[in-house]
Structure 1
Amino acid sequence: MKVGICGCGWLGTPLASHLLAAGHQVVGTKRQSDAAQAWSQSLGAPMVPFDVMAPDYHHAQPLLDCDIVVINIAAGRRNADFDSYRNAMTAFIDHLAQAGVEHVLFISTTSVYGELKGQVTEQTPTAATTASGQAHEAIEAHVDRVYGERGSVLRLAGLIGGERHPSTMLSGRTGLSGGSEPVNLIHRSDVIAAISAMIHQRQWGHVFHLSADLHPSKSVYYSWAAREMGLTPPEYHPSAGDGKWIDASHTLAQLGLTLRYASPYQMIANGQVTSDDPAPK
């Protein structure tokens, strides 16, 4: 199959490498022309410059010629205009459908569950409370309206892998709240394995989500992780009550997957975040 990956960054680039190794044709996108050219030369696959906030569909034609497009575009972490992001993404999905792209996979976030507490499954109704969560909730609904049984959504818990781990940002901070809340994390290699399985098995018309099986409290886990990484542990205020914990057992069963990193404690080895990606299947 010819797979487009819209957004080849921290997750999209190793996903592209994995799919190429599995025998697929891959077209990727980056916002900057020079980055797109460098990526194309490095991986030996087409890369087109494309910015969903200012789309140039003429130069993005190779993406529009794909059988499947994985939409992996984040709004940005700081000062994001989530209304503009939502509008741009829904217009992009409309354009993919009009161009004849058969299937769309939207990479979303478990923040669409908002402040729910306790066990959260794929069937739990969304209840987004943040601007980011509400934007993703609206985009998911648009995928369903436009693509129906030809589109799927994959909601991801907090992402870890390579150099990325929350403890690097939490190190040394004090007075943090929510220390008793469960941790919901997923390793990049398990995300890549899941996306690959969805494509190979043609798992369309579904909402999936991913998180590791084990959910220690934030205060326990992030303090441990910081010490393992040689960082100053964060300090949390005493807190009561529990947050949500993401139960991905249905997703894993439907895709026939076993997580490589079923526990967040496995995601750090020898003081470093694990960075291995799954072997091609």
Structure 2
Amino acid sequence: MKNVSILGCGWLGKPLAVSFLEEGYFVKGSTTSEEKITDLEALDIESYIVNISEFEEFDTFLNTDILIIAITSKDIDGFENLISQIQNSSVQKVIFISSTSVYDSLNKVVTEEDAVLNTPLTAIENLFRENNFFETTIIRFAGLFGGERHPSNWFKNDKKIPQPKGFVNMIHREDCIEIMHEIVAQNCWNTTFNACSNHHPTRREFYTIAKLSRDFETPEFENNDVYKWKIISSEKLQKTLDYTFIHDDLLSI
């Protein structure tokens, strides 16, 4: 299968599309902005305007083998419509990008076996997980950074950073892209993965170094009486895919 469509060619989806092009795939990409079509076409990405909330027909975009869903929409009705169209398309495999925000902070290490919150995102995950017309792998990415998305730019305007004794759960964009390539290359479907660096410095340590590395002032932190945290485990992903993180020392980045 050498045809892939990427729904949402933004901060993650656009470089992901380029990486598949470099491996010889025919790539279709979507955006909701007419202005971005030219940028995508300049990269040799066959480009489409797709907004799942507008309930249009996406049959040409979905004429592909693999669909990667990289949008932040939580529109359950929109996803139900999208899935009904996927069922009637040539799509055989789906990667749905989710988030570790589905887990509550219960002061413990969290695996894919742990309970999730009752949110629109978990409901959308289940729509894909329960569909038998195609195979889906769900990736729950931790906090995303890389490129122009640098943690030093977060918590601006004198906003104090909460939970300084908690731990960060982060993953670099390069690892996100490589993990998706491994899922496709190893034909690893019908499962759910957490994807997060193994390094979990405290929020105080991480954000202090991030701010100082870009010549910002030392950040201020809230003085929380009750500390809430979670540590996301990616052990399942690393064992299943034999994956080694490219960026596994968050403080060195």
Bin for the TM-score computed over the shorter chain: over 0.9
- Greater percentage in helix: 1
Equivalents in 2 of 1:124, 1:165: separation in Å? 29
Q: 1:64 aligns with which of 59, 62, 65?
A: 62
- Which SS does the other structure have where 1:48 is aligned? strand
Distance 2:43 2:107 in 1: 43
Q: CA deviation at 1:149?
A: 7.2
Instruction: Name the Cα RMSD after superposition.
Output: 1.8
Structure 1 residue 202: Cα displacement: 1.1
* TM-score relative to the length of structure 1: 0.84
Cα displacement (A) at 1:61? 3.0
Deviates more, 1:238-247 or 1:254-263: 238-247
Match of 2:203 in 1: 218
Note if contact 1:158-1:185 (Cα within 8 Å) is conserved in structure 2.
yes
The one of 209, 232, 237 aligned to 2:194: 209
2:246 & 2:131 partners in 1: Cα distance?
34
Distance 1:201 1:218, change over 3 A: same
CA contact under 8 A between 1:104 and 1:147: conserved in structure 2? no
Equivalent in the alignment of 2:92: 102
Q: What are structure 1's unaligned runs of at least 5 residues?
A: 76-81, 129-133, 268-281
Q: Which residue of 1 aligns with 2:217?
A: 232
Runs of 4+ in 1 over 4 A off after TM superposition: none
Aligned to 1:118: 108
Give the whole-Å Cα distance in 2 for the aligned partners of 1:141 and 1:61. 23
Secondary structure of the corresponding residue to residue 99 of structure 1: coil
CA distance in 1, matches of 2:196, 2:32: 29
The 5 A counterparts of 1:1-281 are: 1-40=2-41, 42-57=42-57, 60-75=58-73, 82=74, 85-128=75-118, 134-147=119-132, 150-171=135-156, 173-239=158-224, 240-267=226-253
3-12 or 31-40, which deviates more: 31-40
- Structure 2 residue matching 1:73: 3-state secondary structure: coil
Q: Cα deviation per residue 1:38-73 (whole Å; 9 max; x = unaligned)?
A: 311x1113111111111432xx33321111100111
Which stretches in structure 2 are left out of the alignment for 5+ residues? Answer: none
State TM-score, norm by structure 2.
0.93
| Greater alpha carbon shift after TM alignment, 46-55 vs 202-211 | 46-55
How many residue pairs are counted as aligned between the two chains? 251
Return the letter of the residue paired with 1:209.
N
